[in-house]
C-alpha cells in the first residue's frame, strides 16, 4: 500500500464546515484541520471543532486540529459604502482610527493602529491588501501623515495593512489572542500556531499560557516578518514546529527572496529536528478552477523535494468552490513527487552530533529497515517521541506509530511519514509485535514473508524508555 509521507493541512471555512464535506476532505487526504481565528466567533470555532472530531471518528482517522491565532494584524478602517478606489499618483491622508470610528472622509485612508504618526518616517512604504495597494509616506506633521499612492486600485473595509515591521509596537500575543488561546485550550486543540513571531520570548510566553492552563500544547511559529528571519534559529529552537507563512513574507520581502527564505527555514528546521509546514497560495487557482496551474504543481513538488513535513491549503478549502477536489489534487502532487527518482529527503542527523538513547534506537531502526528491505517501521509509543525521531531520520519506508493515547495519535498526524494507529495498553513486547503483525497484514501494508522493524521501550508502557529494536518476519 502506498503511503504519502508529507502531510496536508486544510483551512476550515464556510465551504467545508459541514460534516459531510469534512468527511470528504479527510478521505481526500486532510491530516490537519486549521481553524483560523482571524475570522469567526468562538461559537463558530466550537461548532467546527466538534464537527471535525465527529468526521474524523466516522472516517476512523486521527486528524489534528491546529488553532491559528490572529496575531497583531493591522487593518484598515471603514469606507463609505465599504469600498474606495485609490488613484495612482494622488496624495491621501493616513489617519489613525479605532474600531468605533466613523467612516473615512474623502481623501482619507483610516488605519487601525495606535501611534501611527509616531511609528512612521518619511519615505516609508506601506502596503495594503497583501501588497496590492502601496503608499509612500511623503510628510508627517504632528499626528497627520500624508502619503502618495504609488500603486492604486479598489480597496475594501478591513483589509490588512503592512507597516515597517521593525517599528511596529503591538505585542505578538494580543489580548484577543490570549482570549482565543484560552478558548482553544478549553476545547482541546492539538497545535497552536503563533502569528507574527518576532523572537523566542514570544514563543515562550505562549507556552507558559498553555502550561498554566494545565494543557501543554505544541507551538507552531509562523515565520512571516524580517525580525523573525533575524532571529530564525532561536525561534526554531523554542518552537515545536514552524510554518513558512509566505503570504506576509511576500509582503515584507521582495518576491524573489521568498523561495530563498523558504529553503533557509526548511534547512535550519531540519538540522534542529522541527517539523515545517509550507503555506500560502499553493493551489490558489483552484479556489475556482478544477485544475491547478503547472507552476502551482511545481511549487508543491519543490516543497516536497526540499523536505517539508506538510503543505497547507488556505482559501482553497476555506472558501473555494470544491475543497475535497483540491485536497485530492494536493495529495496526488505530493505522492507523485515522493515516488519520483528525484525524491531524496535528507536526514536530520549531523556528523559528530550526540544522540539520546531513543534517538539512536530510532535512527538505527531506520538503517536496519533499509538494509534488510523491511516494508515498514513500527513504533510503539506513548508520547510519540520515538516515532518523531524515526521521522526526522527520513527512512525509506513508512512509520506505523501504534499508540494507546488519542492525543498522541492526533499530534503525529502532522509529522512526515507517520501513520498513527490505535492500540490497547498492552504489557508485553510479544503481544505488541503480534498485534502489529496482524494489523499490517489485515490492512495490506505487509504480506506473509515480509519483514518489519519494531522499536519500543522495556519495560513496556513506561514513557521515555525506547531502547529496543526487533525484526519480525510476517507469518
| Domain edge (last residue) among 287, 305, 338 | 338
Is 347 domain-assigned?
no
pLDDT at position 464 is 65
176 noted as active-site residue: no
451 noted as active-site residue: no
Is 348 domain-assigned?
no
Catalytic residue (one of 280, 308, 317, 408): 280
Catalytic residue (one of 5, 7, 34, 392): 34
Catalytic residue (one of 84, 222, 410, 411): 222
Q: Which CATH number covers residue 152? A: 2.40.33.10
Other CB atoms within 10 Å distance of the CB of residue 213: 14
Tell me the pLDDT band of 2, cut-offs 50, 70 and 90. Answer: confident
Mean confidence (pLDDT) of the chain: 93
Is 88 domain-assigned?
yes
Is 52 domain-assigned?
yes
pLDDT at position 351 is 59
Least confident range from 48-57, 82-91, 159-168, 387-396: namely 159-168
CA distances for 360 relative to 133, 356, 364, 378, angstroms: 52, 6, 6, 15
222 noted as active-site residue: yes
| Domain edge (last residue) among 121, 141, 167 | 167
Q: Which of 272, 230, 278, 233 is nearest to 253 (CA)?
A: 230
Q: Which CATH number covers residue 22? A: 3.20.20.60
pLDDT one-digit tens code per residue, 177-229: 999 999 999 999 999 999 999 999 999 999 999 999 999 999 999 999 899 99
Same domain, 60 and 33: yes
Tell me the pLDDT band of 350, cut-offs 50, 70 and 90. Answer: low
User: What is the mean predicted confidence (pLDDT) over 33-48?
Assistant: 96
Model pTM score: 0.91
Residue 190 CA to residue 52 CA, distance in Å, equals: 12
Residue 190 CA to residue 416 CA, distance in Å, equals: 16
Q: Which CATH number covers residue 446? A: 3.40.1380.20
Same domain, 160 and 198: no
Same domain, 223 and 279: yes
34 noted as active-site residue: yes
Same domain, 133 and 178: no
State how many domains the chain has.
3
Same domain, 365 and 455: yes
Same domain, 295 and 419: no
Catalytic residue (one of 75, 158, 176, 263): 75
Domain that holds residue 219: 7-71+171-338
Same domain, 396 and 408: yes
pLDDT at position 352 is 57
Amino acid at each position: 500500500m502506498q503511503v504519502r509521507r508529507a502531510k496536508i493541512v486544510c483551512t476550515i471555512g464556510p465551504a467545508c464546515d459541514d460534516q459531510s464535506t469534512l468527511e470528504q476532505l479527510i478521505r481526500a487526504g486532510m491530516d490537519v484541520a486549521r481553524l483560523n481565528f482571524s475570522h469567526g466567533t468562538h461559537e463558530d470555532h466550537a461548532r467546527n471543532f466538534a464537527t471535525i472530531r465527529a468526521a474524523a471518528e466516522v472516517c476512523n482517522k486521527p486528524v489534528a486540529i491546529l488553532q491559528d491565532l490572529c496575531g497583531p494584524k493591522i487593518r484598515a478602517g471603514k469606507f463609505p459604502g465599504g469600498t474606495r478606489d485609490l488613484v495612482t499618483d494622488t496624495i491621501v491622508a493616513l489617519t489613525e482610527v479605532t474600531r468605533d470610528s466613523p467612516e473615512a472622509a474623502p481623501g482619507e485612508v483610516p488605519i487601525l493602529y495606535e501611534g501611527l504618526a509616531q511609528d512612521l518616517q518619511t519615505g516609508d512604504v506601506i502596503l495594503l491588501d497583501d501588497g496590492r495597494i502601496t503608499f509612500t509616506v511623503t510628510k508627517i506633521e504632528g499626528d497627520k501623515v500624508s502619503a502618495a499612492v504609488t500603486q492604486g486600485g479598489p480597496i475594501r473595509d478591513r483589509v490588512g495593512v503592512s507597516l515597517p515591521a521593525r517599528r511596529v509596537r503591538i505585542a505578538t500575543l494580543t489580548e484577543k489572542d490570549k482570549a482565543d488561546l484560552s478558548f482553544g485550550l478549553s476545547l482541546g486543540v492539538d497545535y497552536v500556531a503563533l502569528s507574527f513571531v518576532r523572537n523566542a520570548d514570544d514563543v515562550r510566553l505562549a507556552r507558559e499560557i498553555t502550561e498554566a492552563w494545565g494543557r501543554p500544547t505544541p507551538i507552531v511559529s509562523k515565520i512571516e516578518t524580517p525580525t523573525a528571519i533575524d532571529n530564525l534559529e532561536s525561534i526554531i529552537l523554542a518552537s515545536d514546529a514552524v510554518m513558512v507563512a509566505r503570504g506576509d513574507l511576500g509582503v515584507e520581502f521582495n518576491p524573489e527572496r521568498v523561495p530563498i527564505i523558504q529553503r533557509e527555514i526548511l534547512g535550519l528546521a531540519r538540522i534542529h529536528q522541527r517539523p515545517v509546514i509550507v503555506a500560502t497560495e499553493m493551489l490558489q487557482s483552484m479556489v475556482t478552477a478544477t485544475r491547478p496551474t503547472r507552476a502551482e504543481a511545481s511549487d508543491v513538488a519543490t516543497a516536497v523535494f526540499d523536505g517539508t513535513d506538510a503543505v497547507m491549503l488556505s482559501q482553497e478549502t476555506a472558501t473555494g468552490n470544491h475543497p475535497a477536489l483540491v485536497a485530492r489534487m494536493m495529495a496526488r502532487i505530493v505522492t507523485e513527487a515522493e515516488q519520483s527518482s528525484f525524491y531524496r529527503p535528507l536526514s536530520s542527523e549531523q556528523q559528530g552530533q550526540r544522540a539520546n538513547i531513543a534517538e539512536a534506537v530510532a535512527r538505527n531502526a531506520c538503517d536496519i529497515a533499509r538494509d534488510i528491505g523491511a516494508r515498514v517501521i513500527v513504533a510503539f509509543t506513548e508520547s510519540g517521541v520515538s516515532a518523531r525521531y524515526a521521522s526526522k531520520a527520513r527512512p525509506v519506508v513508512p512509520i506505523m506509530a501504534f499508540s494507546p493515547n488519542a492525543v498522541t495519535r492526533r499530534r503525529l498526524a502532522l509529522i512526515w511519514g507517520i501513520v498513527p494507529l490505535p492500540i490497547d495498553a498492552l504489557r508485553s513486547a510479544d503481544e505488541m509485535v503480534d498485534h502489529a503483525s496482524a494489523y499490517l497484514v489485515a490492512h495490506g501494508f505487509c504480506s506473509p514473508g515480509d519483514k518489519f522493524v519494531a522499536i519500543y521501550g522495556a519495560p513496556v508502557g513506561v514513557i521515555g524508555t525506547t531502547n529496543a529494536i526487533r525484526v519480525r518476519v510476517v507469518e
